[in-house]
């Protein structure tokens, strides 16, 4: 009996995933002795289905160009980027595709935003980070200490690796301008109560920046329900290429002054995407979202009723996750 069928005996509700596995060329590979590879580094990223590989390769074959040109491949590039923003807006249940910023990865996007936010801060303003977070959601904020910003650290309980929520709340004060917290820890798996933290942030007049890199492959994300101001994730963690995505509340993104070259438009999301984007990666990101939506429509019908307020791809994505 193979592992999947023995799992089905133990858990009859686990669907037959053979056809899903078949979509992943990396899972068909064998070593020189014919033994299949097994990939254990889930937190480090996922393998990709053929549809994502095809989207990247089709982009390079049929649409490869720079943006905003008056010729076919450039128009196609603009269209793919627009569609990919909408796909990511659906993935995060964002109100608008104009709130989706693409970047090389979560770390770079977070430095981009932290530097823009730093321009608005005064010495003595405070930012709260947590010791449970990946350094990518600490170092960009800690760098603002060179401007006189005070960075405060929330501890976690070593017994169960949950955040010290009482200590957290005590750290929030009149000078708190931003709270940076992970949705889930890549090290120990703790899922943080980001909705409660969003309420605290709002009550204090501070922004909430959520690192959803580790959470995104494991659960449905709804930025409107969380009530945060920013949320970041990385597509290579959920079956896509190495591309980072930042969602920001439009009016907040609009207020920030980005570091950018002058010809780039001075409005979100463009102003945070200075330089040429990773177009083929963005095409693959859209395919990764569509892959998940397809999983939702095939296997997630039992969950779809939980998301009756959503429609189409948004609902399929939530059902998939």
Ligand X SMILES: Cc1ncc(COP(=O)(O)O)c(C=O)c1O
| Distance of closest approach, residue 194 Cβ to ligand X, in angstroms | 13
Give the binding range for ligand X (CB under 6 A) out of 50-58, 113-121, 197-205, 210-218: 210-218
Q: Is 277 in the site for ligand X (CB under 6 A)?
A: no
Residue with tokens 């780039």: 264
**Interface residue with ligand X, options 23, 46, 93, 107 (CB under 6 A):** 107
CB nearer ligand X, residue 233 or residue 310: 233
Q: Which of 149, 83, 86, 101 is nearest to 253 (CA)?
A: 101
- SS3 at position 308: coil
Shortest Å, Cβ 135 to ligand X = 8
Count of residues touching ligand X (by CB under 6 A): 14
Hey, what's the torsion of the CAs at 235, 238, 241, 245, to 10 degrees?
0
What are the C-alpha distances in Å from 23 to residues 35, 39, 157, 217, 231? 19, 15, 41, 17, 29
Q: Which stretch binds ligand X (CB under 6 A): 92-100, 198-206, 211-219, 300-308?
A: 211-219
Q: Which of 67, 96, 105, 190 binds ligand X (CB under 6 A)?
A: 105
- Provide the total of helices (H) and of strands (E) in the chain, helices listed first: 13, 9
Q: Which residues contact 13 (CB under 8 A, 6 or more apart)?
A: none
How far apart CA 164 and CA 114 sit, in angstroms, is 24
Angle of helix 279-299 relative to helix 50-58, nearest 10 degrees?
150
Q: Interaction with ligand X in 223-262: which residues (CB under 6 A)?
A: 234, 244
**Nearest approach, Cβ of 90 to ligand X (angstroms)?**
20
* String of contacts with ligand X for each residue 155-174, x by CB under 6 A: --------------------
SS3 category, 114: helix
Selected binder of ligand X within 101, 106, 194, 283 (CB under 6 A): 106
**Separation of alpha carbons 25 and 57, rounded Å:** 15
- Of 130, 176, 186, 316, the one binding ligand X (CB under 6 A) is 186
Give whichever of 134 and 249 is closer to ligand X, judged by the CB atom. 134
Q: Is 112 in contact with 258 (CB distance < 8 Å)? A: yes
Restricted to residues 51-80, the positions that interact with ligand X (CB under 6 A) are: none
Closer of 228 and 310 to ligand X (Cβ): 228
Residue ranges in contact with ligand X by CB under 6 A: 43, 105-107, 134, 136-137, 182, 186, 211, 213-214, 234, 244
């Amino acid at each position: 009996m193979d592992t999947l069928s023995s799992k089905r005996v133990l858990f009859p509700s686990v669907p037959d995933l053979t056809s899903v596995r078949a979509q992943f060329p990396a899972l068909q590979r064998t070593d020189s002795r014919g033994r299949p590879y097994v990939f254990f580094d889930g937190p480090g990223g996922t393998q990709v289905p053929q549809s994502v590989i095809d989207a990247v390769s089709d982009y390079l074959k049929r649409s490869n160009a720079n943006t905003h040109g008056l010729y076919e491949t450039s128009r196609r590039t603009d269209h793919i980027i627009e569609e990919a923003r909408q796909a990511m807006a659906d993935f995060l249940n964002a109100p608008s595709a104009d709130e989706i910023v693409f970047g090389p990865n979560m770390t770079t996007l977070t430095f981009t935003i932290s530097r823009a936010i730093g321009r608005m801060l005064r010495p003595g303003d405070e930012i709260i980070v947590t010791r449970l977070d990946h350094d990518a959601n600490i170092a960009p904020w800690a760098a603002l200490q060179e401007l006189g910003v005070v960075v405060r650290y929330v501890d976690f309980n070593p017994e169960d690796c949950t955040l010290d929520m009482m200590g957290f709340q005590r750290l929030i004060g009149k000078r708190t301008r931003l709270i940076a917290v992970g949705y889930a820890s890549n090290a120990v798996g703790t899922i943080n109560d980001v909705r409660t933290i969003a309420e605290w942030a709002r009550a204090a007049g501070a922004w909430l920046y959520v690192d959803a890199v580790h959470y995104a492959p494991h659960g449905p994300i709804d930025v409107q329900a969380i009530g945060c101001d920013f949320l970041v994730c990385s597509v290579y963690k959920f079956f896509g290429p190495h591309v980072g995505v930042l969602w920001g509340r439009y009016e907040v993104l609009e207020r920030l002054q980005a570091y950018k070259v002058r010809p780039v438009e001075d409005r979100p999301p463009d102003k945070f995407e200075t330089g040429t984007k990773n177009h083929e990666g963005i095409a693959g990101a859209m395919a990764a979202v569509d892959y998940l939506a397809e999983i939702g429509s095939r296997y997630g019908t039992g969950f779809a009723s939980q998301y009756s307020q959503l429609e189409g791809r948004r609902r399929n994505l939530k059902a998939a996750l």
